[in-house]
């Protein structure tokens, strides 16, 4: 089977560098254009199943990527929602530095050690513990020649890819996940997937023009 693991398009908060977490922020016009560009890239690709996070930025990205004729097959799974950033949600990194600087530095240097502050705040392990089963559910029953589209979020994609790469969550920031990035995975089941393509965003970004993570 083939799995196309994508991230949602840009939102206004992404552009500003605000931590979104599970705040339900819609795509910006730039993000909508990125999602349509992803759709153009996938227009001739047979997609047998599509699953997205229920947050509107991921769901809209999936719908625009699938197009009017295919978006009816889309289902959502809350296990794919972005990490809950707790009290950081809605804040810029500069604001967090003033209020919670030690934790912010740990998030940059040792992200696997961080529990997000406030009610409902998550760690990367907590995200993985719900996202991996959701990922497995999405792929359940797919045949060898079937293709699955999954549209999720930065932290979700990263913990899934860390698992597939066999690297610890401490190495979370050693690769990028740009808006509407496309990761191509192939294998007989989710436990035996090869990463064929990582962070592919040629549909909207020049070879040396990829954006950095503004919230870091």
204 labelled catalytic:
no
203 labelled catalytic:
no
The rounded distance, in Å, linking the Cα atoms of 19 and 96 is 9
Catalytic residue among 8, 153, 203, 204: 8
Catalytic residue among 82, 85, 89, 122: 82
Please write down the long-range contacts of 123-127, taking CB distance under 8 Å and 24 or more positions apart.
124/83, 124/155, 124/159, 124/169, 124/172, 125/169, 127/83, 127/155, 127/156, 127/159
Catalytic residues: 8, 82
């Amino acid at each position: 089977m083939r799995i196309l693991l994508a991230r949602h398009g840009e939102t206004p908060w992404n552009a500003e560098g605000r931590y979104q977490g599970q705040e339900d922020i819609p795509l910006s016009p730039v993000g909508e254009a990125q999602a349509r560009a992803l759709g153009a890239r996938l227009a001739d690709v047979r997609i047998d199943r599509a699953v997205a996070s229920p947050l509107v930025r991921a769901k809209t990205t999936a719908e625009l990527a699938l197009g009017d004729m295919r978006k009816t097959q889309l289902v959502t799974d809350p296990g794919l929602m972005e990490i809950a950033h707790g009290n950081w949600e809605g804040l810029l990194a500069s604001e967090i530095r003033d209020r919670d600087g030690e934790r912010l530095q740990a998030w940059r240097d040792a992200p696997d050690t961080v529990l997000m502050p406030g009610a409902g705040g998550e760690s990367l392990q907590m995200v993985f513990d719900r996202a991996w089963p959701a990922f497995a559910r999405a792929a359940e029953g797919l045949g060898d020649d079937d293709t699955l589209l999954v549209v999720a979020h930065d932290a979700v994609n990263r913990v899934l890819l860390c698992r597939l790469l066999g690297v610890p969550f401490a190495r979370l920031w050693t690769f990028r996940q740009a808006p509407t990035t496309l990761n191509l995975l192939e294998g007989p089941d989710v436990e035996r997937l090869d990463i064929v393509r990582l962070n592919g965003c040629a549909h909207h970004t020049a070879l040396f023009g990829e954006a950095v993570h503004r919230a870091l």
